């Protein structure tokens, strides 16, 4: 109506004005084509091979398969499924956090993108997704853009994943973040020594110094949790020396292929955060996704629990049939206590003098001690001096001077005449009693009959058997 009215008005104008108006449709057509040109470019025909892959994925409903849900950390929610990953960088589709189908199609399309170059390309960022889709859809890599994932290849060459070990540092009751224990995974390479492997850890990034605020924020999921990978010997030193925690190593029966799948998923999760909740979505729970990525038939993350305790996840992994052998690594505090228990009063007194710097190591010969006694004193002194250095009670210069003097004195004595007893291996933590308990009882108290019902959600108290737990502790 407006256009017709405009034309009728222009009919009464001068001829020059009519000529100008008659040129307007051409101008509007040019303007319209300019505006829709980008849309027409976006609507360019899709690569026929990509269209075939998308059609095949939708026909087989790959977005419903468990493997895909494991890789995206999808869990049932009120409106379908929701990923437990909260970092937007982890998703290629705008609604990928809640839409497995859209995320799968977006992933397939991203594989065909010419850029960004190399390590930032989705093929390099999401290597586990690509590996699974390539197998399921038999993707021909020659029909994809040529991409070099140099950073990933360097990491793969450094780690060289062959097998995996579940690591459980025992409880540390003086630390709120460690009083229930912790779990991490060690990726073993071709080397015999486990110290040369790499540890995979999930933890919250915090800078809170107030204990109450720390607990509240952890309960509410304020902190962000990240996966990290670092040399195992560094992590072991932190737990066994600095935190006085014994460490248990459980060899897992994952094949080399399964361990590789785990590593691919670990690579996808680098620099990706999820909200960290102390009760459930914590260090131990998120680690279970790595095991499921390695062996998708495992069902470790599905059981609904109001809280997840690290030792309970260790038992769950054991019950799933993943364990081969278990090894015990005593902490430095445990080694010190063990050596001291083998010494008599005179030896302990002499050791205290050496540790305090009141007596030089070479002066022990004046104490009329046995050769084995001197060995015990020097061993205890060296362990304690190192422990004090880790506790920042000694400067680096003082530590080096005193520690080297102890090692020199000890080297002159050689092996003890009588072999020192080995540190006894305690009961494995996973073989201790369960974390929760329901009790029903009845009895008499001062001639009165009573009944009681008790429940303990977690974890251990003084009346429980100590096997597998820190003796004398209660949480």
Residue-wise pLDDT for 226-265, tens only, equals: 999 999 998 887 776 656 888 999 999 999 999 999 999 9
Reported as half-sphere exposure (CB side, CA atoms, 13 A), residue 448 has a value of 4
Residue 395 confidence (pLDDT) above 70: yes
Say if CB 91 and CB 97 are below 8 A apart: yes
Token pair in block for residue 119: 């390590």
Write down the pLDDT at residue 250.
Answer: 96
pLDDT in tens, 41-81: 444 467 889 999 999 999 999 999 999 999 999 999 988 99
Which residue shows structure tokens 């026909």? 59
User: Pairing state of beta strands 273-275 and 224-231?
Assistant: antiparallel
Give strand pairing partners of 329.
247
Is 164 exposed, middle or buried (CB count within 10 Å of its CB: 0-12, 13-18, 19+)?
buried
Say if CB 364 and CB 354 are below 8 A apart: yes
Residue 364 confidence (pLDDT) above 80: yes
Residue 430 confidence (pLDDT) above 70: yes
Query: Could you tell me the pLDDT band of residue 434, with boundaries at 50, 70 and 90?
Result: low
Omega before 106 within 30 of 0, i.e. cis: no
Better-predicted residue by pLDDT, 352 or 37: 352
pLDDT (mean) for 206-232: 86
Query: Could you tell me the pLDDT band of residue 453, with boundaries at 50, 70 and 90?
Result: confident
Query: Could you tell me the pLDDT band of residue 173, with boundaries at 50, 70 and 90?
Result: low
CA 203 to the chain's CA centroid: 6
pLDDT in tens, 106-118: 999 999 988 766 7
Say which residues have a Cβ less than 8 Å from residue 239's Cβ, sequence separation at least 6. 169, 182, 245, 247, 331
> Running DSSP on this structure, what letter comes out for residue 270?
B
Measured CA to CA, the distance from residue 377 to residue 369 in angstroms comes to 10
Measured CA to CA, the distance from residue 315 to residue 320 in angstroms comes to 9
Helices 396-411 & 371-390 angle (0-180, nearest 10) = 160
Neighbours of 85 (CB within 10 A): 22
Measured CA to CA, the distance from residue 338 to residue 331 in angstroms comes to 11
Pick the range with the lowest mean pLDDT from 21-30, 261-270, 359-368.
Answer: 21-30
Residue 454 confidence (pLDDT) above 80: no
Cα 323-301-179 angle, rounded to 5 deg: 75
User: Pairing state of beta strands 80-83 and 74-77?
Assistant: antiparallel
């Amino acid at each position: 109506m407006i256009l017709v009215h405009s034309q009728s008005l222009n009919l009464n104008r001068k001829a020059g004005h009519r000529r100008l108006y008659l040129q307007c449709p051409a101008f509007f057509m040019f303007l319209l084509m300019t505006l829709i040109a980008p849309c027409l470019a976006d609507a360019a025909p899709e690569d026929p091979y990509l269209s075939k892959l998308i059609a095949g994925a939708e026909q087989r409903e790959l977005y419903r398969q468990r493997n895909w849900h494991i890789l995206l950390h999808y869990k049932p929610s009120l409106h379908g499924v929701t990923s437990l990953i909260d970092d937007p960088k982890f998703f290629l589709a705008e609604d990928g956090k809640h839409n497995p189908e859209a995320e799968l199609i977006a992933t397939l399309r991203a594989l065909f993108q010419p850029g960004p170059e190399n390590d930032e390309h989705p093929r390099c960022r999401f290597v586990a997704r690509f590996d699974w889709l390539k197998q399921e859809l038999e993707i021909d890599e020659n029909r994809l853009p040529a991409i070099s994932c140099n950073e990933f290849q360097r990491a793969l060459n450094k780690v060289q994943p062959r097998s995996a070990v579940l690591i459980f540092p025992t409880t540390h009751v003086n630390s709120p973040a460690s009083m229930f224990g912790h779990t991490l995974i060690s990726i073993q390479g071709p080397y015999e020594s486990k110290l040369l492997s790499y540890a995979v850890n999930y933890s919250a990034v915090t800078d809170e110094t107030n204990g109450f605020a720390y607990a509240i924020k952890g309960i509410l999921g304020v902190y962000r949790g990240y996966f990290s990978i670092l040399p195992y010997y560094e992590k072991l030193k932190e737990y066994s020396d600095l935190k006085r925690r014994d460490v248990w190593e459980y060899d897992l029966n994952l094949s080399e292929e399964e361990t590789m799948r785990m590593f691919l998923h670990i690579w996808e999760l680098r620099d990706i955060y999820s909200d960290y909740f102390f009760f459930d979505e914590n260090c131990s729970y998120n680690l279970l996704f790595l095991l499921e990525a390695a062996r998708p038939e495992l069902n470790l993350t599905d059981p609904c629990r109001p809280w997840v305790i690290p030792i309970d996840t260790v038992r769950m992994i054991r019950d799933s049939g993943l364990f081969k052998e278990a090894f015990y690594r005593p902490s430095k505090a445990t080694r010190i206590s063990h050596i001291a228990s083998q010494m008599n009063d005179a030896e302990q007194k002499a050791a205290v003098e050496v540790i305090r710097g009141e007596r030089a190591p070479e002066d022990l010969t004046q104490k009329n001690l046995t050769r084995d006694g001197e060995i015990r004193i020097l061993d205890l002194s060296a362990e304690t001096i190192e422990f004090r250095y880790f506790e920042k009670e000694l400067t680096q210069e003082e530590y080096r001077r005193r520690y080297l003097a102890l090692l020199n004195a000890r080297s002159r004595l050689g092996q003890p005449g009588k072999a020192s007893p080995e540190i006894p291996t305690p009961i494995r933590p996973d073989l201790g009693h369960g974390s929760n308990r329901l009790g029903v009882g009845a009895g008499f108290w001062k001639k009165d009959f009573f009944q009681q019902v008790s429940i303990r959600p977690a974890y251990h108290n003084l009346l429980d058997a100590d096997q597998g737990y820190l003796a004398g502790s209660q949480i």
